[in-house]
Every structure is written in structure tokens, then in C-alpha cells.
Amino acid sequence: MNVKIKFFLATAFIFFTVLCKAQNPVIQTKYTADPAPMVYKDTVFLYTSHDENDAGPGMGKFLMKDWLLYTSVDMVNWTDHGVVASLKDFTWGRQDNGAWAPQCIERNGKFYLYCPVQGSGIGVLVADSPYGPFKDPLGKKLIEDDHIWNDIDPTVFIDDDGQAYLYWGNPSLWYVKLNEDMISYSGEVMKIPGVGKEKDQKDSDTYHYQEGPWGYKRNNHYYMAYASTCCPEGIGYAMALTPTGPWEYKGYIMQGNKKSSGNHPGIIDYKGKSYVFGFNFRLNFLLTDVHHERRSVCIEEFNYNLDGTIPELPWWSETGVAPVGTLNPFKRTEAETIAWAQGVKTAKGTNGIYVTDIDNGDYIKVKAVDLGKGAKNFEASIAGMAGDAAIEIRLDSPTGILLGALQIKSTGNNTWKTQSCRVKKQPGVHDVYLVFKGNSNGLFNFDWWKFGI
């Protein structure tokens, strides 16, 4: 990364995090968009599209080649699992760009990832695990019709009777009934009447539908949330008594914002709470006043009204959501498990995902860490590239109580060694800040950490 850009980004992040206590957007090490959350067992799996760093400048200048995966068990600390699929997995599609909004669903122990390859159609990948590896079982597109450039943004759900439905489209909304194998369908591709702009329609449609549908069922109500009224796009929604309608427009979940041209909802219930996912451009605008298609996923909690409708929410807050659990620091925690990060990036090596691009003053925040009665030591797996570097372990802010400092011993670029230090005993639940110190750039790589009793 250019040193001047890195310095500006670090300065902006310091102001943003220390003064604003930010939690939104939830991923800071990469640009993420089009969130597709899936609750499986006790974990939220967050599949996203990925805007490249050099996307843009200009509205609509998307540069997207792969899909990413993050997981969380507390809604605030997200573990980076890297690229879960890419355009290369679809040999029939364009390879240079177009990895748009995906969604994953589980059925009968297999996981189906529906992916639009913009301009080529919609494909499906299958895996035995939500982490992948995902493979193309068809070797061809699942969805292609006369509206191929509109075959984007698939959303899928399985009704209580076992029938699965796949929806998609911009500027109209289409659907098919999937077969039980989830990789084929029966019947015709159907257009939902009245949703989207007709060819001879100049004004916005009744539903204010644009793209990015998210279909689901809750308490016998069928919901269709979507990016609404371009541009900017907010999030609107409609409800129905059947999965194919008729749909009744209910209004906005969130109005648009002039600095965010697009949107894409994802809605789940998790641990007794309801959440809406989407994105903003906040990280992009920390770097520049120019619009680039470099988006960042955000989350808000909400409560359904008694009649099942969804209240209108303000634009994405900076504070985000509260944790729904605590993190056990006495078990190995991946360094890429992050609530907020300043300056660092993640990369993939032979040992999996790790944190890199670590410079002086960068830090990682891990939220709601339960230290119990206190820890005695701290250890971390490090590949040190420079001497005179350290990890300061602090509580509740980057300048908070100092528990200890791990002085990093140089190991060489690709040699991972566990290093440790003593820490002061401090009981209770705290936000832990791992603050990086040193006299050079690219101080070391960081794989995992844990406290000891």
C-alpha cells in the first residue's frame, strides 16, 4: 500500500474509532458488499461479494472477481475465512469481472451457493461444508433467459412444505421452483407481476423495486426485501401470504443515502434478535471524496412490529450492534477474528488466513472478551520480519490499561513461532486491543493468539 495512503487511512481510522466508537462497517480489512447471512447451527455465516481496492473511480465501475466468507457467534467479532468461491469456478462465465451478489443455503447436509456472473447468467456451486470447497455440479449456468443482463442477485429459501424458490432480477423480479436437488428447476421462469419497471413504464413501480431481493418466511408471513428506488438505493420490502404473492408493498426498511448509490439487504434472526444487513461507502469516503464502487457491509438490529411488519430504521449507525455473547480468550483465537481493525490487512498462506501489512500504530480490537478472574500470560503465533516490534495488550481503547507487551523476536518471513509474555491480572469482560508497535513498515505477520491462566 502506498505509504501516504496508508498514513491517511490510519489517521482517519484513529479519529473514526476513538471518537465515534465505531462498529459499522463490520469488516475493515477488505471492501465487502451484498451481504448474504446464513444461520447454521450456532454460527452466522456471512457470504459477501468483494470490491477490489482499485475499483473505480465513478459510479457503476464495479470490479468484482470472487466471493468471501466471514463467521461470527456473537455478531461483533467476525472471523475472515478468505475467498470461498470465484469466477474461476464457473468456466462457462466471464472471468474478468462480474462476481455479484450471492446467497448460500443448506439442504440435506449440503450447501448450495447461488452466484450471479454478471452478463453471463446465474450459476450454483455445491459443497459438503459451509466453508467449502464449492464445486460447479452442472458445468453450465442454472439461470439464463432472454433477460441475461438482468439475471443477477439470486435469493433462495425453502418453504415449510419442502418446496424451494429461487428469485432474482433487475429491474423486474423473477422466480422458479427449484427441484429437491437444488441444482435444477421445474416449470417456467415466472415474472412477478407489477414488481419492477415495465418496458413502457417511465415512473417508478408501485413496489419501488430495483434489485437485490432477499426472500424469507417468518411466522407464516412471506417477506421480500430489496434494494429500492435507484439512485441512491434504500431498502424496501413487501409481504405476502404465499411465496409467489400477491405481494403487498409495506414501505422502507431504510431510506437511501446520497453517499451510497446502492444497497442489498440480508435479514436473519439469531439468538433471539433480528438483524438487517446491508452496506455503505464509509471506508471509501475516508480515503477520498470521489465515489468508487468500494462498499462495506453494515448491520443493524431491529424488532418486528406485532403485525409482522418491519419498522423504518435510520441510516446505518456508526455504533452498529451489541454483542450477543462473549469471547473466550483462553482458547486459541484467530488473529483475523476482528471487531474493528486499523490499518492491517488479511492474506492467505499455507497455514490459512493471517493478519499482515502491520505497521506502527495499527491495531485489532476484539470485543466483549471474558477474562474471567484474569490472565497470567499472553501468547501469539508470529512470523516476524523485523526486529524491534511489539504487541501491546490493552483494555477498552488503544491507549487503555496496559496488560503487557509481547516483544517480537524476528523469525523470518515464512517461519511461524509461538511467542509469549507475562500480563497483569485484570478480571471481567473487556474489549481487548492488540496495538502494534515498531520502527518500520511490515513489522510481522500474525496468525493467532490466546491468554493463559
Catalytic residue among 211, 233, 334, 362: 211
What is the pairing mode between strands 444-452 and 389-395?
unpaired
Instruction: Transcribe 4-53 into DSSP letters.
Output: HHHHHHHHHHHIIIIIH----SS--SSEEEEEEEEEETTEEEEEEEEE-T
Average pLDDT over residues 204-210: 82
Number of other residues whose CB lies within 10 A of the CB of residue 219? 6
pLDDT-based confidence at residue 3 (cuts at 50, 70, 90): very low
Query: Does pLDDT of 198 surpass 90?
Result: no
pLDDT digit string, tens, across residues 407-441: 999 887 789 999 999 999 999 999 999 999 998 88
- The CA dihedral of 383, 385, 389, 391, to the nearest 10 degrees, is -30
Domain ranges of the chain: 24-302, 333-452
Counting every residue written for the chain, the total comes to 453
**pLDDT for residue 18:** 42
11, 286 in Cβ contact below 8 A? no
Query: Does pLDDT of 110 surpass 60?
Result: yes
With H, G, I as helix, E, B as strand and everything else as coil, classify residue 87: helix
pLDDT digit string, tens, across residues 88-107: 999 999 999 999 999 999 99
Does residue 34 carry a catalytic annotation? yes
**pLDDT for residue 144:** 81
Rounded Cα distance, 54 and 435, in Å: 28
All cell numbers assigned to 214: 432477499
Number of other residues whose CB lies within 10 A of the CB of residue 136? 21
pLDDT digit string, tens, across residues 53-93: 999 899 999 999 999 999 999 999 999 999 999 999 999 99
Number of other residues whose CB lies within 10 A of the CB of residue 132? 21
Query: Does pLDDT of 447 surpass 50?
Result: yes
**pLDDT for residue 56:** 86
Rounded Cα distance, 72 and 44, in Å: 5
107, 182 in Cβ contact below 8 A? yes
**pLDDT for residue 197:** 63
Percent of the chain surpassing pLDDT 70 = 92
pLDDT digit string, tens, across residues 288-334: 999 999 999 999 999 999 999 999 999 999 999 999 999 999 999 99
Does residue 128 carry a catalytic annotation? no
All cell numbers assigned to 33: 458488499
pLDDT digit string, tens, across residues 324-338: 999 999 999 999 999
What's the CATH fold of domain 333-452? Answer: Jelly Rolls (2.60.120)
Query: Domain 24-302 is classified in which CATH homologous superfamily?
Result: Glycosyl hydrolase domain; family 43 (2.115.10.20)
